[in-house]
Structure 1
Amino acid sequence: MKRSVLTLLLLIATALSPFFVGTSAFAQTRNEKVYTVPERQPEFPGGKAALSTYLAETIRVPNSVAKKNYDTGPIAAKFIIDELGYVHDIRITMKPLDKKTMKSLSGFMTNIISAIEKMPRWEPGEVGGKHVAVFYTLPIEVSMQ
């Protein structure tokens, strides 16, 4: 009896598992091509100057981080701009830091991710005259002075 109940629970869990998979996990399994070097790079609406202005106005350095004047080293946001110009799969990269510093910077990293998530649609990259998904690396210069 216990074995049949366990088998039944396992079957139900297997059948329902697609409903509990997060969209980010699902996005990782798509079979679309993502280019790293397209013929035409994606472009932020208004160009690079508008992108710099957007980031400067949107990303806020928390006071606690600014006061400690952490040396974060180079920071980069890496994400995919899909064939429709939407940004997704955002990751932040930086030099290795100790756990205490990383904990202090977690709110700042969240601000960066939030700013990128709220970006307007980009003009997508192109290959062969068709819009394509592009893996994009955006260096972020941090000045805490």
Structure 2
Amino acid sequence: MKTYNKWLTMTVLIAGLLGTASVDTMAQSRLTKVYTVPEREPEFPGGKAALSRYLAATIKVPGSLTRNSYNTGPISARFIVDADGSVRDVRILTKTLDNKTKKSLQGFMASIITSVEQMPRWRPGEVDGRPVPVFYTLPIEVTL
């Protein structure tokens, strides 16, 4: 019986270690360095003018935003441009908004997130001549 318990304990211990190793490997694969100041910034295909046209065509401004005078202040989308040029982890940055304004802007902010997530691949940022993931902050100007 003691031999069986030792064998069972060793099997559980080894299985636990193997399970932990695979989880660590998965976690480490997502832990990549993301640059804030690369040597060469990421660029939208066609440059800033093409980016402005893309955003104007794809971001939907809700009617409530045009009818009511909401003081949203500056709005920015912050995201990561990966080494392959794809966009991920989109976040919206605004000044602190009251609950009524925040609720009224939810559709607009969702439209911004969708538009940014569906962007074509960017030319990635570079460090030492190699493509790297870079944080990018994109100010969104709303002119009504």
TM-score by length of 2: 0.79
Match of 1:109 in 2: 109
Match of 2:75 in 1: 75
Counterparts of 2:108 and 2:66, CA distance in 1 = 10
Larger radius of gyration, structure 1 or 2? 2
Task: Map 1:1-145; keep pairs closer than 5 Å.
Answer: 30-144=30-144
Counterpart AA for 1:90 = V
C-alpha distance in 1 between matches for 2:110 and 2:69: 18
One-letter amino acid matched to 2:96: P
Cα distance in structure 2, aligned partners of 1:66 and 1:109: 14
CA deviation profile, 1:83-141 (whole Å, cap 9, x unmatched): 00000000001011110110010000000000001100000000001000000000111
Structure 1 CA distance for aligned equivalents of residues 64 and 31 of structure 2: 42
What is the Cα deviation at residue 69 of structure 1?
Answer: 2.1
Tell me how far 1:60 sits from its aligned partner: 1.4
Deviation, 1:64, is 1.2
Work out the CA distance in 1 between the residues paired with 2:30 and 2:71: 37
Taking structure 1 as the reference length, the TM-score comes to 0.79
Q: State the shift of 1:63 in Å.
A: 0.4
1:35-76 Cα shifts (integer Å, max 9, x gaps): 000000000000000000100111111001110021100001
| Separation in structure 1 between the aligned mates of residue 77 and residue 107 of structure 2, nearest angstrom | 15
What 5-or-longer segments of structure 1 have no aligned partner? 1-14, 16-25
Identity over aligned residues, as a percent?
64
Aligned-residue RMSD, C-alpha: 1.8
Q: How many residues align?
A: 120
